[in-house]
Amino acid sequence: MYKPAWLGGTVVVALAIATAWTAWPRPSAVLPQPTDGGPGERDADFRQRREAWIESLHRHAPGLDWRAQDAAWRAQRIESVQARREAAIAAGAKTLDRVDTRAVDGLWRERGSSNQAGRMTGAIYDAANDRITALSQGGNVWRADRATLAWNSPNDSASFVSDGFLERLVDGPSERLLVASDSPTGVYRSDNGGTSFTAATGDGFANPWYTMGMAVRDAAADDVYLARVHYDFTAPAAWRTHLFASHDRGASFASLGFVGERDRVALFSPRYGSSELYVLIDGALNRIVAGTDALVPVATVPFAPAVGAGDRIALSGGVEGGQVFLYAFRSRANGSQTDVFRSLDGGMNWQARSAVPTGLFGPDSTESSTRDPALVYAGGVNLYRSIDGAASWTAVNDWAEYYGNPEFKLHADIPDVDVWVDGADVERVFVSTDGGLYESTDALASVRNLSLDRLHVSQYYSTYTQAGGARVVLAGAQDQGYQKALAPGGGIDDFVQTISGDYGHLDSTDGGGSVWMVYPGFAMVDTATSVGGQGGLRFWDFGNNGLGGTLWMPPIVADPLAPQSAILAGGSMAGGGHHVIRLALSGGVIGATQEGFDFGSAVTALAYSAHDAARRYAITSDREFFRDGGSGWIGTASGLPENHYFYGNTILSDPARPGTVYVAGAGYSNPAVFVSTDDGDAFTAMADGLPNTLVFRLAISPDGEHLFAATEVGPFHYDRAAGTWVDISGLGGPDQVYWDVDVVEEGAAGIARFATYGRGIWDFVISGDAIFTNGFD
């Protein structure tokens, strides 16, 4: 991002946990371990702390469901945008990218990456058309002819976020796509290849949490079944698995009632050769009878010990010689292994097989061949294959091998495995990873990356753009590392991955000559931002230096008076409490000094004044605001919510209005944005027009006229004349979680550069007719 010295705020990003980086001195190629999802979180306490921290970001009053609140807002927005989008297309609109509001006009432009794909969650192969349909974690449906891999998202204005439950029904030459979504909540169908979607109707959809599975009895028939976690108010009240059935190809669903505990119910129907549909409840296998939806017991899978709290159940199988075979999986709560049982007679009898040496990443992380009971696959951080009916298991590759050979080695973390048969009667195995989609035609003896170009599903937490020179764009990604677009051009750029892992809070006060950032477990500064490689990276490890009590990703802000120094939100290096840690790079080594002031609770955001480089601001998890004018920190604020439901994520100093400071964060039970005009002594709400949601970051133009917000539900601009926030996604901005925004000056107008969690980086070009010498043509 470009910003004058010390202009801007900082945001806490909800990144996943990490195994602490302890190797020192640095090896030639640093490869921090995978940090997000499932067994990547090997320490159960780590997972609990991570989940607690994510909940704290979305702070709210007791009894309020923030996920449902966000999902409801997104559902109504999608419905509205779909209608306007279809009308614009019918009217022959030349572009859907332009946004016109009373306060700002602009044009949406996608910037990348083109080659650093994020998490995919499911894939369907259409043999008749040699076409792949896939779902990203960002919730978009993507399609490509297998021969060309010219990936395309038919509709960016609607995303359906879940663990990857995508089905395709066929009726002669026509098709229906079904997506089970958690945000917005429901099942959505498309009869035009994903160009538009319609929500299913039905009863029993109240009080949802997340989807656990969706299965079709026969792709050419009408029956669809859905398993989703809902709150069961019957004693003892708890979150349990609710089963639903549709007999009109997913247009409507009826409740079949609660059937089991969450994560301990699995649906399965063979893809070819059988219309049987099974539901596994703990160890109890049932058939769902066509026509009546009755659950008929088949047998019990003899898991030992019995399935319990924290365990995860999965079911897969196929048909050999007209006989259904099944695999039942129990991923243990501690993530140490996955127990496997196999039945060769449709579930009547079961035999214990060798355990997979990993916990499962998610509910769809297992699959077997559709016709050969000897071939079965299971994924956690790494993917394992068995070619002897689960008598033994072999890793396809170790996650670290990806970085030297991304085309032919799997990325870490395996949310989904799908097996389809092509027109030549060859099984194609599609593997969804945190680094895109892979394919194998030899039972995973080898794999090939299908996402090295044009699958634009990068998941970014933070960006920074150099102020001069090549205007290199830097980005911190989820599990795709710290990235650089070294020669940004006129469109969607390729990025190079400098180092693996998760990075956030990118910040600089020398125009990008040196950029500070944080990974879960260490702080890092890049002193050679214009080149690839790790030669310019310097690290300060939390554990090795005794720093404890930090947030998972503590805020870090570069010092405007000393760009090779930064302040980091602690924690404490000694003696407990919550302190600011000053980091300084000297002689190639980062040193640290703990400041004496104890804030009393976790510091959740830090910033410097845009008018006085010696003036600093902080906000804590107890919603207390602090200012340091050079003589020490003092608590100042009144006017912030007196309840305990505001969590401040970002602080921004207005460059055109001395003394004006904005803070923003969790707005579920109170306003999400506040403003002070007396340097933080008092705040007033500034949230009209914003939905009740979470604001991750604010950014402002140098003249103070354009104020932007990146939020859980989209991008917003503040209309100063009307005193209200305006949704600027229009018809061209992708429907995504927007984690970050920076104002970048290029040419005659400015750009609000947004980082999304699923569709990469997008620029909102203010006054969209302007022509820029860098970045656009």
What's the residue count for the chain? Answer: 777
Cα dihedral across residues 772, 461, 62, 184: positive or negative: positive
Q: What is the pLDDT of residue 745?
A: 85
pLDDT, tens digit, 9 for 90 and up, residues 170-207: 998 999 999 999 999 999 999 999 999 999 999 777 88
Check which CATH number belongs to the domain holding 707 and give it: 2.130.10.10
Name the H helices within 31-162: 44-57, 66-90
Which residues are CB-contacts of 401 (< 8 A; sequence separation ≥ 6)?
409
Helix (H, G, I), strand (E, B) or coil at 379: strand
3-state secondary structure 440-460: ECCCCCCCEECCCCCCCCCEE
Q: What is the pLDDT of residue 769?
A: 40
Q: What is the pLDDT of residue 44?
A: 45
Q: Say whether pLDDT at 223 is over 60.
A: yes
Q: What b/e readout covers 197-226, taking b as 16+ CB neighbours within 10 angstroms?
A: bebbebebbeebbbbbbbbbbbbeebbbbb
Cα dihedral across residues 363, 369, 373, 379: positive or negative: negative
Domain-located, residue 675: yes
Phi-psi region of 682 (alpha: psi -120 to 50; beta: other; left: phi over 0): beta
Cα separation, 319 vs 337, in Å, equals 27
Report, as an integer, the average pLDDT of 574-593: 97
Report, as an integer, the average pLDDT of 496-515: 96
DSSP readout, 334-357?
Answer: TSS-EEEEEESSTTSS-EE-PPBS
Q: What is the pLDDT of residue 768?
A: 44
Least confident of 17-31, 548-562, 695-709, 710-724: 17-31
Q: What is the pLDDT of residue 639?
A: 80
Q: What is the pLDDT of residue 54?
A: 77
Nearest to 70, CA basis, from 185, 179, 147, 168: 185
Beta strands 714-719; 625-628: pairing state: unpaired
Report, as an integer, the average pLDDT of 662-672: 96
Q: What is the pLDDT of residue 55?
A: 80
Q: What is the pLDDT of residue 392?
A: 99
Please tell me the pTM assigned to this model: 0.92
- 583 in Cβ contact with 575 (< 8 Å): no
Confidence of residue 89 (pLDDT cuts 50, 70, 90): confident
Nearest to 765, CA basis, from 742, 777, 741, 749: 749
Q: Say whether pLDDT at 776 is over 60.
A: no
Phi-psi region of 359 (alpha: psi -120 to 50; beta: other; left: phi over 0): beta
Domain-located, residue 71: no
Report, as an integer, the average pLDDT of 93-112: 91
**Mean pLDDT over all residues of the chain?**
91
- 198 in Cβ contact with 186 (< 8 Å): no
Helix (H, G, I), strand (E, B) or coil at 243: strand
Q: Where are the beta strands (DSSP E) in 164-294?
A: 165-171, 174-182, 185-190, 198-199, 201-202, 208-216, 224-232, 238-246, 252-261, 265-268, 278-281, 284-288
Q: What is the pLDDT of residue 7?
A: 38
What is the tally of structural domains in the chain? 1
Give percent of the chain above pLDDT 90. 83
Q: Say whether pLDDT at 11 is over 70.
A: no
Beta strands 589-594; 580-586: pairing state: antiparallel
Q: What is the arrangement of strands in the sheet containing 580-586, beginning at the earlier edge strand?
A: 556-559, 562-569, 580-586, 589-594
- 365 in Cβ contact with 414 (< 8 Å): yes
Cα separation, 560 vs 627, in Å, equals 16
The two three-digit tokens of residue 280, written as one number: 């596994």
Rg of the chain in Å (alpha carbons): 26
Least confident of 101-115, 200-214, 317-331, 430-444: 200-214
Cα separation, 506 vs 555, in Å, equals 10
pLDDT, tens digit, 9 for 90 and up, residues 287-327: 999 999 999 999 999 999 999 999 999 999 999 999 999 99
pLDDT, tens digit, 9 for 90 and up, residues 679-713: 999 999 999 999 999 999 999 999 999 999 999 99
Nearest to 140, CA basis, from 622, 735, 742, 701: 735
Which residues are CB-contacts of 613 (< 8 A; sequence separation ≥ 6)?
5, 6, 560, 561
Preceding omega of 734 cis (within 30 degrees of 0): no
HSE-CB at 322 with a 13 A cutoff on CA atoms is 0
Q: Say whether pLDDT at 157 is over 50.
A: yes
Confidence of residue 773 (pLDDT cuts 50, 70, 90): very low
- 486 in Cβ contact with 532 (< 8 Å): yes
Distance spanning both ends of the chain, measured CA to CA: 20
Give percent of the chain above pLDDT 70. 92
Q: Which of 2-16, 30-44, 61-75, 348-362 is modeled with the greatest confidence?
A: 348-362
pLDDT, tens digit, 9 for 90 and up, residues 235-284: 899 999 999 999 999 999 999 999 999 999 999 999 999 999 999 999 99
Q: What is the pLDDT of residue 96?
A: 87
- 735 in Cβ contact with 74 (< 8 Å): yes
Q: What is the pLDDT of residue 34?
A: 57
Q: What is the pLDDT of residue 76?
A: 95
Q: What is the pLDDT of residue 458?
A: 98
Summarize the chain as % helix, strand, coil (round to 5).
Answer: 5, 40, 50
Nearest to 580, CA basis, from 559, 558, 598, 562: 598
Tell which wins on pLDDT, 620 or 89. Answer: 620
Domain span holding position 657: 38-64+458-766
Tell which wins on pLDDT, 63 or 407. Answer: 407
HSE-CB at 241 with a 13 A cutoff on CA atoms is 23
Q: What is the pLDDT of residue 94?
A: 75
Q: What is the pLDDT of residue 27?
A: 31
Domain-located, residue 652: yes
pLDDT, tens digit, 9 for 90 and up, residues 356-402: 999 999 999 999 999 999 999 999 999 999 999 999 999 999 999 99
HSE-CB at 206 with a 13 A cutoff on CA atoms is 4
Tell which wins on pLDDT, 48 or 46. Answer: 48
Q: What is the pLDDT of residue 747?
A: 66
Domain-located, residue 469: yes
Cα separation, 395 vs 113, in Å, equals 29
Beta strands 252-261; 201-202: pairing state: parallel
CA of 19: how far to CAs of 41, 49, 477, 497, 521, in Å? Answer: 8, 13, 17, 20, 8
Q: What is the pLDDT of residue 748?
A: 64
* Long-range contacts at 618-621 (CB < 8 A, ≥ 24 apart): 618/569, 618/580, 618/651, 619/648, 619/651, 619/663, 619/665, 620/578, 620/648, 621/56, 621/647
Q: Say whether pLDDT at 3 is over 90.
A: no
